[in-house]
Amino acid sequence: MPIKSYKKYISLLTFVAPAFVLYAIFLLIPTLGGMFYSFTDWNGLNTNYEFIGLGNFIEALKEDPDFISSIFFTLKYVLFMVVLQNVFALLLAVFIESRAKSKGFFRTIFFMPNMISTIISAFMWTFVFAQVLPQLAEKTALTFLDQSWIGDPQVSFYSILIVSLWNGVGYMMIIYLAGLQGVPQSLKEAAVIDGATAFQTFRNVTLPMITHAITICFFLTLNGAFKVFEVVYGLTGGGPGRSTQVITMNIYEEAFSNNFRYGYASAKSVILFVIILIFTLIQIRVMKKREVEA
Amino acid sequence: MSQKKSTSLLITVLLSTLAAVSFFPIYLAVINSFKTQGEMFRSFVALPSKIHFSNYVDAFRQIQLLHSTLNSIIISVVGIGGIVFCAALAGYKLSRTSGRLSSIIFFLFIASMLVPFHSIMIPLTRMAKALSVQGSTYGLAIIYIGLGVNMAIFLYHGFVKSIPRELEEAAQIDGCNEFQTFFKIIFPLLVPITVTIAILDFLWIWNDFLLPLLMLTDVDNYTLILSTNTLFGEYNKEWSLILAALVLTAIPVIIIYSFFQKFIMHGIAEGAIKG
């Protein structure tokens, strides 16, 4: 018996080894390494480092107004994104699903932006915001288009949202469409026969049947929104000043373009990880509960 | 009945308007990339009076289109190939083996899916430097394997459960060893989920920006996205040139999209619902 179980382990390890070795080198060790360095004063210029306990965390949360404001900016962005992305995606999915002939056409059009890399989308929209819209405002009566779309942080928050939504809604729409296709036609017909309006049918039959898709999409949008980087990098670069800086960009600057304070930047990374973890766990817990009830 | 018809018409109008708005930036990028700078500033919305290819010739040269596309292809193909190979082996075995060790390894893979890339980018850059995989396309591809196997293992692990064990037992009776059984019997049966994984990973690797930005230092190794990013930084007022580069960068994915649309959408839905 011991020989057999020994063989079983060997076989397990040989199959798992290629994946595990690369995973350990490039994901597991860096994860643990980042946590380790977050307690040190390690920087890129010096090879020696010392343990400074929670020093980095205290500095980040107490003495770094740029980091704090990047957290609040990101939270605001996350809130808008989670709500708007899901509302738009679900509405589009419901409307498209109700079309008979044009279903495929609309699906293709709305999903297409998702194929284009986020950073390329941001560049494309920079052209629209900086050049096209001001000219359109000048030539037509659409004066509201003449905004400082990228220069004014109040407005550029919405520019960032627009590009993120343009780029991301299609993905969620596909998941919602798949969810909607799983709703049995007979249930909807039964509701209609019982005299339910279209909205009532949606509210009481369709929505409960797609809670699983809703949970997934909320998870994906929540996670993705906290990690936003490319859109902001391509559109405003975090500016003007640092007014549109998100957490990831603050970490990136701290580590790679400012002082090379790796230890300090690692502490900020750990804070980001913890924030995402807390929000994700709460979201999954709350929504799973509702899923069971439904 | 007429109310139902008018609602339907309203939805069509709404969808069409949104579709037009959604398509507008792509339309603008394409038409203006065929104009001269002067004509462009007269009107961005009008169609070009005469089609100029000169922007494309310039952009083609500036972003070293063939070279950087080749780099992107190498990184994607090696990365996806590696992920599929490593993850199929591991996912299959972890799914078939019971016991504590197997569960612990599986848990380690799954838990890591929650780690945001930005939390590991600093140590990862150091690690890549130490192993001297930084700066090379193949090195970058190997990093993608390390970062991508967790999700692929998760998907394979779930899929393998639907394959009856009798197949393996029969193969073993016929004299196959474990690896032969895997490659001859199991792997071909994994094709549906392999397609899903390949698509999700292709979209991720091809369109990725930050990891290549951190890893690739030499212009000769730049991916398509990185080359375009550099161009955008250097010629930030020459919009006709930039737009041509953006269109050239988007063309490969649009081609792939038009051929594999069904698979891509299926892959996304499948990947999400399993998750």
Q: What is the pLDDT of residues B197-209, one digit of tens each?
A: 898 899 899 989 9
**Same-domain status, B22 and B156:** no
Return averaged pLDDT per consecutive 10 residues of chain A, 294 residues in all: 71 89 93 88 76 80 86 93 94 87 86 89 88 76 70 83 92 90 83 82 83 88 90 83 85 81 88 91 83 57
Do A18 and B89 count as a contact with CB atoms less than 8 A apart? yes
Instruction: Write the residue in B89, B119, B272 that is nearest to A15 by C-beta.
Output: B89
Structural domain includes residue B272: no
Contacts of residue A223 in chain B, CB cutoff 8 Å?
116
Tokens standing for B9?
A: 């018409």
Number of folded domains in chain B? 2
* pLDDT for the residue numbered B2: 65
**Cα(B144)–Cα(B115) distance, integer angstroms:** 15
**How much is the average pLDDT of B206-214?**
91
Domain contains B260 = no
In order, the DSSP letters of chain B are -HHHHHHHHHHHHHHHHHHHHHHHHHHHHHHHTTS-HHHHHH-SSSPPSS---HHHHHHHHHTTHHHHHHHHHHHHHHHHHHHHHHHHHHHHHHHH--SHHHHHHHHHHHHGGGS-HHHHHHHHHHHHHHTT-TT-HHHHHHHHHHHHHHHHHHHHHHHHTTS-THHHHHHHHTT--HHHIIIIIIHHHTHHHHHHHHHHHHHHHHH--HHHHHH--SGGG--HHHHHHHHHHH-TT-HHHHHHHHHHHHHHHHHHHHHHHHHHHHHHHHHHHH-
Contact: A106, B19; criterion CB under 8 Å: yes
Tell me, yes or no, whether B84 and B119 share the same domain: yes
Which CATH number belongs to the domain containing residue A145 in this structure?
1.10.3720.10
* Residue A1 buriedness (CB in 10 A; 0-12 / 13-18 / 19+): exposed
Quick check: is B179 in a domain?
A: yes
CA distance B176 to A257: 56
User: What's the confidence (pLDDT) of residue B149?
Assistant: 94
Sign, CA torsion B239/A106/B206/B107? positive
Is the pLDDT score of B107 beyond 50? yes
Give the span between the Cα atoms of A293 and A213, in whole angstroms: 15
Which residues in chain A are closer than 8 Å to B249, comparing Cβ atoms?
Answer: 117, 120
B-chain residue closest to A248, CA distance: B118
- Interface contact A72, partner B, CB < 8 A: no
Sequence-ordered list of residues with C-beta below 8 angstroms from that of B213, at least 6 positions apart, any chain? B226, B229
Q: Residue A169: what pLDDT?
A: 92
Confidence of residue B228 (pLDDT cuts 50, 70, 90): confident
Cα–Cα distance, B265 to B199 (Å, whole number):
9
In a domain, B113, yes or no: yes
For chain B, what percent of residues have pLDDT higher than 70? 98
Task: Please give the Cα distance from B107 to B92 (Å, whole number).
Answer: 15
Cβ separation of B112 and A280 shorter than 8 Å? no
Is the domain of B202 the same as that of B98? yes
User: Span B17-26, mean pLDDT?
Assistant: 88
Question: Which distant-in-sequence residues (6+ apart) come within 8 Å of B261 by Cβ?
Answer: A108, A111
Asked whether the beta carbons of B142 and B77 are under 8 A apart, the reply is: no
DSSP A99-145: -SSSHHHHHHHHHHHHHS-HHHHHHHHHHIIIIIHHHHHHHSS-GGG
Residue B256 covered by a domain: no
- What's the start-to-end Cα distance of chain B, in Å? 42
R_g of chain A, CA atoms, integer Å: 24
**What are the tens digits of pLDDT across the range B43-93?**
777 777 777 778 888 878 878 888 888 999 999 999 999 999 999 999 999
Check whether the bond before A240 is cis (ω within 30° of 0): yes
Residues B47 and B111 in one domain: no
ipTM at complex level? 0.86
Prediction pTM value:
0.88
Q: Residue B246 domain-assigned?
A: no
Which distant-in-sequence residues (6+ apart) come within 8 Å of A192 by Cβ? A201
Task: Kindly list the distances between the CA atom of residue A243 and the CA atoms of A236, A238, A276, B251, in Å, as whole numbers in the listed order.
Answer: 9, 6, 22, 34
- Residue B161, token pair as written in the block: 């459960």
Tell me which residue range forms the domain holding B138.
63-234
Range of the domain at A244: 56-293
A22 and B CB contact within 8 Å: yes
**Which 8-state DSSP code applies to residue A152?**
-
* Contact yes or no for B207 and A118 at CB 8 A: yes
Q: Are residues B155 and B39 in the same domain?
A: no
What is the count of structural domains for chain A? 1
Residue B203 lies in a domain: yes
Distance of alpha carbon A210 from alpha carbon A181, whole angstroms: 9
Per-residue pLDDT averaged across B91-112, rounded?
89
**Nearest residue on chain A to B95, alpha-carbon basis:** A12
Q: Is residue A11 part of a domain?
A: no
Residue B102: CATH number of its domain: 1.10.3720.10
Q: Which residues contact B142 (CB under 8 A, 6 or more apart)?
A: A22, A26, B78, B79, B82, B133
Specify whether B92 is located in the same domain as B47.
Answer: no
Q: Which amino acid is located at A73 in the chain?
A: F
Check whether residue B151 and residue B28 sit in a common domain: no
Q: How many angstroms separate the CA atoms of A149 and A220, rounded?
A: 27
Smallest CA-to-CA distance from A218 within A85, A115, A72, A80 is with: A85
Of B89, B109, B272, the CB nearest to A23: B109
Place of tokens 């649309």: B261
Residue B147 has pLDDT above 90, yes or no: yes
- Which pairs with CB-CB distance under 8 Å and at least 24 residues apart come from B104-108? B105/A16, B105/A20, B106/B153, B106/B157, B108/A23, B108/A28
Whether B18 is in a domain gets the answer yes
CA angle B221, B226, B230 (to 5 degrees): 110
A23 falls within a domain: no
Same domain (yes/no): B34, B98: no
Are A251 and A60 in contact by the 8 Å Cβ rule? The answer is no
Is A171 a domain residue?
yes
For residue A40, give the 3-state DSSP assignment: strand
Same domain, residue pair B121 and B40: no
Residues in chain A within 8 Å Cβ distance of B119? 31, 34, 269-270, 272-273
**Do B177 and B116 reside in the same domain of the chain?**
yes
- Residue B123 vs residues A35, A214, B126, B151: alpha-carbon distances, Å: 10, 35, 5, 21
Radius of gyration of the CA atoms of chain B, in A: 24
Q: Hey, is A51 helix, strand or coil?
A: strand
Residues B170 and B230 grouped into a single domain: yes
What pLDDT is stored for residue A1 in this prediction? Answer: 46
Quick one: average pLDDT of B122-130? 88
pLDDT tens-digit series, residues B253-273: 888 888 888 888 888 887 777
Report in angstroms the alpha-carbon separations of B227 from A159, A197, B29, B60, B233.
25, 54, 18, 11, 10
* B127: closest CA of chain A, how far (Å): 7
Structural domain contains residue A36: no
Mean pLDDT of chain A, nearest integer: 85
Q: Residues 223..242 of A with a Cβ closer than 8 Å to B: which? A: 223, 226-227, 229-230, 233-234
Nearest CA in chain B to A255: B122
Q: Is residue A7 part of a domain?
A: no
Q: Which of A59, A69, A74 is nearest to A268 (CA)?
A: A59
Name which of B92, B116, B232 is nearest A227 (Cβ-Cβ): B116
